[in-house]
């Protein structure tokens, strides 16, 4: 468990906030797709920490800065939203299995729905710094409306082509973010292409159906309620198919949150 100090906790909209936490330099470098469990050090609220995806990570000489993008959805995140600059928080992490970078695949498509923009933005940043050579990057971002789009300005600064879809058509194309994919994938070589995605389960299930006939590999980060963050409580189980073709339960927090999209049993309730 690490103790950090908030450097800012800015409101981005009615429900969305952007927090930065200063931590000791000993804090390990995270992998895109990993998350942290966070809670105020002094609080009369819920005992459990809240899982938040890592939005950005910067290592300085004597400290690191961890950035988190989150939405107020309950009592725990509401308490986080009230924290001011210099407030202390307890952080457990980085946790989970992140995205695995396949450097041999030169055409990368990043797909984010809603708060999935946080790990996808971190992944785009990571790819720019870690993957050398000629690579093509395309980013698709979706939300219910333009008011729900957050973090777009940081993605715009990336080298990749940005495509936006909103359910009500208030920004970009009208429809789901997965509706953008057929045009984006047109002409893609399955041997050189890979898709990374994060968003609601409904979005990922649709994505799985779209990719079935293509042969294009895809890694997805699953959004799931978590209590412990380390696989001890079994409260975030997801059904997957193992290498022997048998169905088994995996913990999203410990065995994920990133999975091969074709390993997940999409018929689960």
pLDDT digits (tens), the chain, 269 positions:
899 999 999 998 778 999 999 999 999 999 999 999 999 988 665 567 889 999 999 999 999 999 999 999 888 888 899 999 999 999 998 999 999 988 888 899 999 998 999 999 999 888 876 655 567 889 999 999 888 888 777 776 555 688 899 999 999 899 999 999 999 888 888 899 999 999 999 999 999 999 998 889 999 998 766 666 666 666 788 888 888 878 888 888 888 899 999 999 888 65
Q: How far is the C-alpha of 219 from the C-alpha of 264, rounded, in Å?
A: 11
User: What fold characterizes domain 224-269?
Assistant: Dihydroorotate dehydrogenase B (pyrk subunit); domain 3 (2.10.240)
pLDDT at 136: 82
Question: CATH top-level class for 107-210?
Answer: alpha beta
Encoded tokens for 164 = 């936006």
Q: Where in the chain is the domain with CATH 2.40.30.10?
A: 2-95
Question: Please, what's the b/e burial string for 95-133 (b: 16 or more CB within 10 A of its CB; e: otherwise)?
Answer: bbbbbebeeebbbbbbbbbbbbbbbbbbbbbbbeeeeee
pTM, rounded to two decimals? 0.90
**C-alpha dist (Å) from residue 248 to 131, 222, 240, 263:** 34, 16, 6, 10
Q: How far is CA 20 from the centre of its chain?
A: 16
- CATH of the structural domain 2-95, one choice from 2.40.30.10, 3.40.50.300, 3.30.530.20, 3.30.365.10: 2.40.30.10
pLDDT at 227: 62
pLDDT at 46: 56
pLDDT at 15: 87
pLDDT at 127: 86
Q: Where in the chain is the domain with CATH 2.10.240.10?
A: 224-269
pLDDT at 151: 78
Q: Where in the chain is the domain with CATH 3.40.50.80?
A: 107-210
């Amino acid at each position: 468990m690490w103790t950090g100090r908030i450097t800012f906790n800015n409101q981005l909209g009615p429900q969305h906030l952007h927090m930065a936490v200063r931590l000791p330099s000993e804090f390990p470098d995270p992998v895109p797709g990993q998350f942290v469990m966070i809670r105020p050090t002094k609080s009369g609220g819920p005992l459990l920490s809240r899982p938040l995806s890592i939005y950005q990570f910067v290592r300085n000489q004597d400290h690191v800065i961890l950035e988190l993008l989150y939405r107020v959805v309950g009592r725990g995140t509401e308490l986080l939203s009230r924290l001011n600059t210099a407030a202390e928080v307890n952080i457990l992490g980085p946790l989970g299995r992140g995205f695995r970078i396949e450097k041999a695949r030169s055409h990368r498509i990043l797909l984010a729905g809603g708060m999935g923009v946080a790990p996808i933005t971190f992944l785009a940043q990571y790819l720019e710094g870690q993957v050398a050579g000629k690579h093509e990057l395309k980013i698709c971002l979706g939300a219910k409306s333009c008011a729900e789009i957050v973090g777009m300005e940081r993605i715009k600064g990336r080298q990749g082509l940005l495509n936006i879809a909103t359910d009500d058509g208030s920004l970009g194309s009208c429809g789901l973010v997965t509706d953008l994919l057929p045009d984006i994938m047109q002409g893609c070589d399955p041997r050189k292409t890979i898709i990374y995605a994060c968003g609601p389960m409904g979005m990922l299930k649709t994505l799985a159906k779209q990719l079935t006939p293509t042969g294009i590999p895809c890694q997805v980060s699953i959004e799931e309620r978590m209590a412990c963050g380390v696989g001890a409580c079994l409260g975030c189980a997801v059904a997957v198919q193992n290498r022997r073709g048998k169905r088994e339960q995996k913990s999203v927090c410990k065995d994920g949150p990133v999975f091969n999209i074709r390993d997940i049993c999409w018929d689960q309730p």
